[in-house]
Amino acid sequence: MARGFVSEGRRFLRDPALLGAVVILWLLLALFVLYPLFELLVRAFSDEGKFTAQPLLDGIADPSNRAAFVNSLILATAVGVMGTLLGFLFALTATRAGLGRRWLTLLDATALLPLVSPPFTTSIAIIFSFGPKGFISHHLLGFDNVSAYGFWSTALAETLTYFPIGYLTLRPILAAIDPNLEEMAFSLGGSRWRIFRTVTVPLCVPGFANTFLLLFAASLADFATPLILAGNSFAVLPTQAFLQITGMFDFKGGAVLSLMLLVPAAAVFLLQRYWVGRRVYVTVTGKVGQRSRTRAMAPGASVGLVVACALVAIVIVYFYALLVYASFVVAFGANETFTWRHYGVIFTEGLPAIRDTLIIALVGMPLGGFYGVLVGYLLARRRFPGRRAMEIVTIINYALPGTIVGIAYLMAFNDPPIALTGGMLIIVACYVFRYSPTGIRATVALLQQIDRSLEEASSSLGAGSGETFRRVTLPLIVPAFFAGLGVVFIRSMTAISATIFLVSISWTLITVRILENMTELALGPAAAFSVFVIVVVFAVVWGLSAVLARFRAPTAGAAARSLLGG
């Protein structure tokens, strides 16, 4: 083992491109992931310059904290399972139901709608629908004493908000599966259900595991939705930590509560790694051949998938129709007079927030996309010292509650020697290192389906690792790259949990203005801001889709022919 490690280290040192990439990535990870976390731990567990674990022990001993910890696990598991199933439903419909381009565009738009709006807008729509005077509970059904708060409403809101991450992760994986595999099973007499169960689903296991990991971590990190919907009957740790910090100004107590969430996040990550790592999922090889069109999906099943997606889409569209309606009336539920006043407010008083948000998002998008693909490629394809440690470090900021990431950044970069608070760089860095794991996991999942012989052929012809990555691997993982671009831009436009602590007079964000309007009960401008965000993000996502359609990744066979012929 020691000899293999030394040999691996020597090969690593002889590869300048790999060495340079790894060194630069470790420097960035040390600065924007490990250093803030270290500062947070020092502040949380030091008392007059002395280390003490008493705050953590006191936090664990508190019965209310233990109950909130269990509630967080239950909620995250439910959101992970339901979001993965819903994401797979939409991805399977998009890739197997034979929908035309227009229907696929409509499916994409509906699936991405919850993701392209601030996370608390779904919560507000649920309250408008099922609250004591809600449109459905009161006006349609006639119930007066209905509560829209608790576990199920919180789980529903988070599932609808985060399942598009699963859709973005699973769709390129399903699309990359060679239909010849299903066609061969069908020609051997296998039923469509058996082919789906024994061929298609097992090949999606990396996507299932990665999706569950991302959704589980997203639920653990979400404080906005539970803050609005969970109520006192279902307390979770992220909300308690946020209130501890912002309400009681107890940084130590809030940090301790949030750090407790690292245990389940790390456990799920290691379980996913162990489960997926023991199996082989290669479906894209270097062999040249014609890709057939699969017959594994029966017409009746296709109709069922479309109907199921349509029902979910109706619920999503209804929720956001309330949001649009509220942006065009004087006061939702009180004065239904049509007005443009709310949009006048956001394009005058709110114009600085719009400008700053767009600049930050457009800068962070390409940085996050490239970072996700590069790290995913290194983790899945290259062997170098510290690879497993890098894989764990890249997921830390995503697994941590956003509130604590913001507090950690505030502690680390508010004072010299690295004073970045109040500027654009710190917000961009927060977005890139917090939301790029989506692109990383999508890249890893896709590379697990691509035969290594393609890259080995490039190396045997004398190409270095950098040229092999650029000419062979990168074209094959273009879908993962664009998934990373889209997610980073979307979260840059809609996130609030971490960056609410990093805004300043010079740089502010639309989501912060929305939250301010909500606390001031100015729901009209808040709705108008949300509609504006949705329109902008959909325009950018549509543009990314158009570019991806023009430069769609070639098949593995085409890549091999290009390599051998060029």
Close Cβ partners of 237 (under 8 Å, ≥ 6 residues apart): 65, 68, 69, 71, 72, 257, 258, 260, 261, 401
User: Mean pLDDT across the stretch 285-309?
Assistant: 62
DSSP assignment letter at 450: B
Q: State the amino acid at position 393 in one-letter form.
A: V
Q: Same fold for the domain at 17-47+340-566 and the one at 61-276+296-327?
A: yes
**What interhelical angle do 523-550 and 101-112 show, nearest 10?**
140
Pairing between β-strand 329-331 and β-strand 335-338 as defined by DSSP bridges:
antiparallel
% residues pLDDT > 90 (the chain):
11
Q: Is the pLDDT of residue 286 over 50?
A: no
Three-state secondary-structure class, residue 497: coil
Taking a C-beta distance cutoff of 8 angstroms, is the pair 324, 534 a contact? Answer: no
Q: Is the pLDDT of residue 12 over 50?
A: yes
Average pLDDT of the chain, as a whole number: 77
Q: Is the pLDDT of residue 322 over 60?
A: yes
Q: Is the pLDDT of residue 532 over 50?
A: yes
Close Cβ partners of 561 (under 8 Å, ≥ 6 residues apart): 288
% residues pLDDT > 70 (the chain):
75
pLDDT of the residue at 559: 36
Q: Is the pLDDT of residue 403 over 80?
A: no
Three-state secondary-structure class, residue 330: strand
pLDDT of the residue at 348: 92
Least confident piece of the model among 145-154, 269-278, 462-471, 491-500: 269-278
CB neighbourhood size of 565 (10 A): 6
Query: Which residues make beta-bridge pairs with 329?
Result: 338
What does the alpha-carbon distance between residue 384 and residue 9 come to, in Å, rounded to a whole number?
Answer: 7
Give 212's Cβ-side CA count (13 Å radius): 21
DSSP letters, 173-241, are: HHHHS-HHHHHHHHHTT--HHHHIIIIIHHHTHHHHHHHHHHHHHHHHH--HHHHHHTTTTS--HHHHH
Q: Is the pLDDT of residue 555 over 80?
A: no
Taking a C-beta distance cutoff of 8 angstroms, is the pair 129, 322 a contact? Answer: yes
DSSP assignment letter at 501: G
Q: Could you tell me the end-to-end alpha-carbon distance of the chain, in angstroms, rounded to an integer?
A: 39
Confidence of residue 29 (pLDDT cuts 50, 70, 90): very high
pLDDT of the residue at 462: 65
Taking a C-beta distance cutoff of 8 angstroms, is the pair 182, 454 a contact? Answer: no
Q: Where are the beta strands (DSSP E) in 270-332?
A: 329-331
Q: Is the pLDDT of residue 221 over 50?
A: yes
What does the alpha-carbon distance between residue 21 and residue 44 come to, in Å, rounded to a whole number?
Answer: 33
Span 61-276+296-327: which CATH code? 1.10.3720.10
Q: Is the pLDDT of residue 339 over 70?
A: yes
Three-state secondary-structure class, residue 284: strand
Give 434's Cβ-side CA count (13 Å radius): 30
What does the alpha-carbon distance between residue 549 and residue 552 come to, in Å, rounded to a whole number?
Answer: 5
User: Mean pLDDT across the stretch 211-226?
Assistant: 81
| Alpha-carbon distances, residue 401 vs 37, 104, 185, 221, 238 (angstroms) | 12, 34, 45, 4, 6
Model confidence over 40-60: pLDDT tens digits? Answer: 888 777 766 678 777 777 777
User: Mean pLDDT across the stretch 495-499?
Assistant: 80
What does the alpha-carbon distance between residue 99 and residue 111 come to, in Å, rounded to a whole number?
Answer: 15
Taking a C-beta distance cutoff of 8 angstroms, is the pair 517, 394 a contact? Answer: no
Tokens representing 170 are 């699973």
Model confidence over 425-478: pLDDT tens digits? Answer: 999 999 999 888 877 877 787 777 666 666 666 666 666 666 666 676 767 777
Q: Which residue has the higher pLDDT, 137 or 325?
A: 325
Q: Is the pLDDT of residue 271 over 60?
A: yes
pTM for this structure?
0.73
What does the alpha-carbon distance between residue 141 and residue 159 come to, in Å, rounded to a whole number?
Answer: 25
CB neighbourhood size of 290 (10 A): 7
Q: Is the pLDDT of residue 292 over 50?
A: no
User: Mean pLDDT across the stretch 494-520?
Assistant: 81
Q: Is 285 left (phi over 0), alpha (psi -120 to 50) or beta?
A: beta
pLDDT of the residue at 32: 93
User: Mean pLDDT across the stretch 330-342?
Assistant: 82
Q: Is the pLDDT of residue 289 over 50?
A: no
What does the alpha-carbon distance between residue 112 and residue 130 come to, in Å, rounded to a whole number?
Answer: 23
Domain edges within the chain = 17-47+340-566, 61-276+296-327
pLDDT of the residue at 556: 38
Taking the alpha carbons of 451, 453, 456, 458 in that order, is the dihedral positive or negative? negative
**17-47+340-566 is classed CATH 1.10.287.3510:** no
Close Cβ partners of 254 (under 8 Å, ≥ 6 residues apart): 241, 242, 244, 245, 403, 404, 407
User: Mean pLDDT across the stretch 68-81?
Assistant: 90
User: Mean pLDDT across the stretch 371-393?
Assistant: 84
Taking a C-beta distance cutoff of 8 angstroms, is the pair 319, 153 a contact? Answer: no
Tokens representing 267 are 């456990």
Model confidence over 129-184: pLDDT tens digits? Answer: 887 667 787 777 777 777 778 888 889 989 998 888 888 888 877 777 766 566 65
Taking the alpha carbons of 509, 537, 323, 226 in that order, is the dihedral positive or negative? negative
